[in-house]
Chain A
Amino acid sequence: MKKLIGKADIIVICSLLFLALSLLLIILLFNQRGLYVTVTVNNEKIISLPLNENAEYPIENEYGSNYLVIEDGYAYIRDADCRDEICVRTGRINKVNEIIVCLPHKLVISIEDGNEN
C-alpha cells in the first residue's frame, strides 16, 4: 500500500513553508526598517531625520527657535524661546503618530513610518 504522504513530500512541504515564512519575515523587517522624525513649519515639511540616528537639529526661522534632539530612539525639544515652552514640557516621543507642537512657532515634530503605503 502506498503511503499517502511520503518522506519526499514532507521535505517539499517543509521547504516551501520555510521559504514562505522567510519571505514574510524579510517583508516585515523591510517595512519596519525606519521611523522618521519629521519637522514641519507652517504646514510645510522641512526635513525628515531617521529616529535611530542620534542628532541635534536647531530649528530657526522668523517665528522663533526650537532645539530638536534625537537621542536613543526618542525625539524631543530640549530648548525653545517661546514663552510657554509647551513643546519642551511635552517630553519625548518615539511612536508613529506621536507629535510635539510649538503653536507660536507653527512647528510640528512628528514620528512617521519610513514607508508610505
Chain B
Amino acid sequence: MVAKNKRVLSVIIACVLLISCVFASSCEKERFKYQKTYIGAFDTVTVITGFSESQKSFDAIADDFYHRLEEYGRLYDIYQDYVGINNLKTVNDNAGVKPVEVDSRIIDLLLFSKELYEITGGAVNFAMGSVLKFWHDEMIHAQFDPESASVPDEITLKSASLHTSVDGVIINADEGTVYLSDPLMSLDVGALAKGYALERVAKEFEARDWPAIVNVGGNVRTLGMPLNEDFWSVGIKDPDNTSKILKILKIGGNCSVVTSGDYERYFTVSDIRYCHIIDPSTLYSAVNFKSVTVINADSGLADAMSTALFILDIAQGLELAQKYGIEAIWIGKNGERYVTPGFSDYYE
C-alpha cells in the first residue's frame, strides 16, 4: 500500500515539474547576444550588437536599424546625388541659384546645426564647406599618392573662408526649403550629422524592447540595458596604439558616447599629421588634442560637442562642457588627460 502511494506521488511530482518547466520556458523566451557589422552609411563602419531570440530575428531588426541610418546618410550626403532625392548635395549645387525643397529631416538637422553653431561659439560651423572642401580633396589625393600630399595654401583657405557665414543659410521650415544665398558657400555637416541621425533612429527603436548598442564610426548609442551585465562596456582606444583600450566606460541605457580623434582620418606632410577636424579660427587642422570622448544622452549633441571640445582649448572646453551637462575626457598630445568632474562616474 505504501509503495503504491509512493509511486503515485512521484508520478504526480514528475508531471507537475514537467508542466512547470514547459510553462516557464514559454513565458519568457530566452534571448542571446548577436552582432553584425555594416560598411557604407556615413562612409564608415556600423557595428550593431543586441539581444534577440534568434539570429534571424536579430538580423531583421538590425538590418532595419541600419537601413534607417542609410536613409539619413543619403539625405545628409554632400558628395553624392541620389535619384529622386533632394539632399544636401542638391542644396549645395543650387547655392546662389534657388531654394531647394527638402525632407523635413534635413530642415531639422540644419536648425539643430544652427543652434550648435551658436552654443559652440562658432567652433562647429556647418556652413564651412568651402574651406573643408580643400582639406577633403587633399585627404583623398594623399590616399592615392602619399608622396605628393601637400597642405592647402593659406591664401586659398582664407578666400574660401569668406564664404562660410551661417547667415547665408536661409531655412524656410514652413515651405520646407533651404537656400544658400552665397553661390560660393556650401554646407558640410560632418561634425554632427552622424550623431544626429543615430539619435533620431535610436529614438524610433526605443519602444521596441530590443536591448542593443550601436556604434556608427565611433558614435555609440545604447538602447535599453544589456541582459547579461549591469552596464554596457564602451572602450576608449589609445590614440597611439589603436589595438589597445585605455579605459572601459560603464554606460547605461539610452546613452551616447562619441569620440573625435586625430588617429584615423589624416594625412602626413613632412612628418606633420593633418587630421580631418578643421579649426574654423585657424582654417587648419585642430592641434590641441589626440582625442576627446564625450558622454551625453543625446547622440547629436554628443557628436557636435566632441568636435567642439577637440577644437577648443581645455579651458574653453571645460566651460562649454559644464554649461551643457556634458561629461568628457581629453587626451592631449603628450598623453596628458583632462576630465570633467562627473566623468569618473562612468568608470571604476
Total residue contacts A-B, CB cutoff 8 A? 45
Q: Interface of chain B, helix or strand or loop or mixed?
A: strand
Interface contact A40-B32, CB-CB below 8 Å:
no
Q: Is A33 on the interface with B (CB-CB < 8 A)? A: no
Contact B37 A108 (CB under 8 A): yes
Task: Write the chain A residue with the least CB distance to B52.
Answer: A117
Mark B32-61 against chain A: 1 for CB-CB distance below 8 A, else 0. Answer: 110101111001110101000011000000
User: In the complex where A101-B45, A117-B54 touch, is A89 in contact with B243 (Cβ < 8 A)?
Assistant: yes
- Complex contacts, B121 vs chain A, CB 8 Å: none
Chain A residues 71-117 with CB under 8 Å of chain B are: 83-84, 86, 89-92, 97, 99, 101, 103-104, 106-108, 110, 116-117
Choose one: B44, B55, B144, B241; the contact of A103 (CB below 8 Å).
B44
Distance between Cα atoms of A112 and B143 in the complex (Å) = 32
List the A side residues contacting B35 at CB < 8 Å: 97, 110
Given A90-B243, A103-B45, A117-B55, A42 contacting B39 (CB threshold 8 A): yes
A-B contact pairs, 12 of them (CB 8 A): A43-B38, A43-B39, A83-B142, A83-B143, A89-B243, A90-B242, A91-B243, A97-B33, A99-B37, A108-B39, A110-B37, A117-B32
Give the CA-CA distance A91 to B241 in the complex, in Å. 10
Identify the interface centre among B37, B45, B55, B143: most chain A CB within 10 Å of its CB. Answer: B37
How far is it, in angstroms, between the C-alpha of A103 and the C-alpha of B44 when the chains are bound? 7
Report how far A97 CA is from B243 CA in the complex, Å: 15
Q: Any chain A CB within 8 A of the CB of B335?
A: no
**Cα separation A91 to B245 with both chains bound (whole Å):** 12
User: Smallest distance from the beta carbon of B244 to chain A beta carbons, Å?
Assistant: 9
CA distance A43 to B35 in the complex (A): 14
CB neighbours of A108 from chain B (8 A): 37, 39, 45
Out of B40, B55, B264, which one reaches A116, CB within 8 Å? B55
Closest to B142 in A: A83
B146: interface (CB < 8 Å): yes
In the bound complex, how far is the Cα of B241 from the Cα of A104, in angstroms? 20
- A84's partner among B49, B243, B264 (CB-CB below 8 A) is B264
**Size bin of chain B's contact surface:** 20 to 34
**Contact with B143, one of A91, A104, A117 (Cβ below 8 angstroms):** A104
Interface positions of B (Cβ within 8 A of A): 32-33, 35, 37-40, 43-45, 47, 49, 54-55, 142-144, 146, 241-243, 264
For A105, the closest partner residue in chain B by CB is B39
Task: Give A14 Cβ to nearest chain B Cβ, in Å.
Answer: 18
B49 touching A97, Cβ below 8 Å: yes
Question: Given the complex of chains A and B, what is the CA–CA distance between A19 and B265 in angstroms?
Answer: 58
A40 to B142, CA, bound (A): 26
What residues of B have a CB within 8 angstroms of the CB of A89 in the complex? 241-243
Q: Which residues of B contact A101 (CB under 8 A)?
A: 37, 39, 45
In the assembly, what is the distance between CA of A42 and CA of B38, in Å? 8
A17 to chain B, nearest CB (A): 16
**Least CB separation from B266: chain A residue:** A84
Chain B residue at minimal CB-CB distance from A76: B243
Complex contacts, A117 vs chain B, CB 8 Å? 32, 54-55
Q: Which partner residue on chain A sits nearest B263 by CB separation?
A: A86
Q: Residues of A contacting B146 with CB < 8 Å? A: 83
Query: Which of chain A's residues has its CB closest to B66's CB?
Result: A43
B44 CB contacts on chain A under 8 angstroms: 103
Instruction: Say whether B40 contacts A43, CB under 8 Å.
Output: yes
List residues of chain A with CB within 8 A of the CB of B49.
97
**Cα distance A86–B45 when bound, in Å?**
13
User: In the complex, what distance in Å separates the CA atom of A89 from the CA atom of B49?
Assistant: 23
